[in-house]
Amino acid sequence: MRVSVPNLPKSLLLNPLTKQVPVSKAIDSVTAFLAPGNVTLVTGAGVSVDSGIRAYRGRDGLYMNPNYKPIFYHELLDETEKGQSFRQRYWLRSYLGYPSVREALPNTTHYAIAALQHAGVIPRLITQNVDGLHHAALSMAHPSPVMVEKSLLELHGTLHRVRCKHGHLVDRTVFQDWLSSANPKWKDFADTGTELRTNPDGDVAIEHLGASYNDFVIPECPTCLQENRHNNVHKPDLVFFGESISEYVKNRSYLDIENSDRLLLIGTTLATYSAFRLLKHALALGKPVLMINVGPSRADVVEGVHKLDIASGDIMRDVVRNVLGHRGAIDSTVEKMLSSGIRRPPLTDDDGSAPRNADED
Ligand SMILES: [Zn+2]
């Protein structure tokens, strides 16, 4: 099976095509772009950096860990003993890493975007992130579940649900409890609060602890047991390397582009094809496209994309005030959103982040 990890072309990394823009100019550009409304937004890992979740790539566009070896879809679902070993390693690392993703808070960009969703400027949001932070920010407006379902599409799934190989879905918090009960020794270790490096997908490095994952117990799916079947093959409800996006999500993402008048991209390098093809679709339909991203991206050589090389956290609150101020659409919920959100200093150490959730195509 040929599975490739998406990468940006070398020539792009060596000769970045875009220069950083002044803050005030960037605010004006984004305000003018959003003002007509009916915008579809696509976000990536860069949006969650201010929440303390690592970006996959640094300023130079390279993976921060060049030796990163992701686990692939076929490995995770492999029925042999080898597969069992892959799953033990995966689930132990993920068990220890998940709490830091669960406890992460939306940042100022998440809330600024939520304000624009709440005010109807951005009726459709497609995110590549699996951290659930767009949901968390939007929940301040108390939208109905139906409205959230309509307005937010998780292109690569979510870390907050787990699915057994027969399709039984369980909340991740419940699954974590199952893992705790089955592995009291590891629960004790987790309870010591030892700091571990966490990747954006909630995976941590444990090898340096000298720990073995051979004794890690993966519990059986209780619903399968009720159906008289033993099964302990589970997978977080996200898209892995080597796995395809479902037809429903793919079609829905295209529809979101078609139903909008313009496309905004924030914090994504578009290295994964699932996101890049949305840009191509928008351009083919003649929709204006604006991109906000720090560092090089796959869109830099694409004609028709206006790119601003700037951190979204530096501009988005002001953009919302400008766009909604003109419309008289700043209500108490928007005010609250504009004064909410953390902004943590970026994590800059250099040995451990790379994408785990990405489809090939
Ligand atoms: Zn099951």
Distance CA 323, CA 329 (A): 9
pLDDT value for 355? 36
CA distance 212 to 161: 26
| CA 164–ligand 1 middle distance (angstroms) | 5
Mean pLDDT of 300-313: 94
- Summarised one tens digit per residue, pLDDT across range 191-235 is 887 777 776 666 777 766 666 788 899 999 999 999 999 999 999
pLDDT at position 62 over 80? no
pLDDT of residue 357: 38
Q: What is the pTM of this model?
A: 0.88
Give residue 1's pLDDT: 45
Between CA 208 and CA 96 the distance in angstroms is 14
Question: From ligand 1's centre to the CA of 166, what distance in Å?
Answer: 5
| Cα–Cα distance, 117 to 102 (Å, whole number) | 23
Closest listed residue to residue 94, CA positions, set 145, 141, 159, 18: 159
Residue 350 banded pLDDT, cuts 50, 70, 90: very low
Q: State whether residue 269 is helix, strand or coil.
A: coil
Say whether pLDDT at 168 is over 60: yes
pLDDT at res. 200 = 65
Averaged over 36-60, what is the pLDDT? 84
Catalytically active residues are 156
Span from the CA of 65 to the centroid of ligand 1 (angstroms): 35
Mention every residue, 6+ apart, whose C-beta is less than 8 A from residue 227. 166
What is the structure's pLDDT at 327? Answer: 86
What percent of the chain is modeled with pLDDT above 70?
83
**Is pLDDT at 356 greater than 60 in this prediction?**
no
Distance 218 CA to ligand 1 centre (A): 13
pLDDT of residue 49 exceeding 70: yes
- Distance (Å, rounded) from C-alpha 155 to C-alpha 197? 25
pLDDT at residue 360, as a whole number: 32
The average pLDDT across 350-354 equals 38
- Residue 4: pLDDT band (50, 70, 90) is low
The residue ranking higher by pLDDT, 262 or 62, is 262
**pLDDT score for 359:** 37
Distance CA 122, CA 260 (A): 9
Taking residues 250-265, report their average pLDDT: 98
Residue 37 predicted with pLDDT over 90: yes
Angle between helices 273-284 and 247-258 (to 10 degrees): 30
pLDDT of residue 92 exceeding 50:
yes
Return the bridge partners of 161, or none. Answer: 171
Does pLDDT of 77 surpass 50?
A: yes
- The pLDDT score that the predictor gives to residue 69 is 61
* pLDDT value for 231: 95
Do 309 and 19 touch, CB atoms closer than 8 A?
yes
Residue the block writes with tokens 């409890």 = 177
Task: Compute the mean pLDDT over every residue in the chain, rounded to the nearest whole number.
Answer: 87
Q: Please tell me the predicted confidence (pLDDT) of residue 354.
A: 37
Å from CA of 360 to ligand 1 middle: 26
Are 112 and 316 contacting, i.e. CB atoms less than 8 angstroms apart? yes
The distance from CA 59 to its chain's CA centroid, rounded to whole angstroms, is 18
Question: HSE on the CB side for 133, CA within 13 Å?
Answer: 32
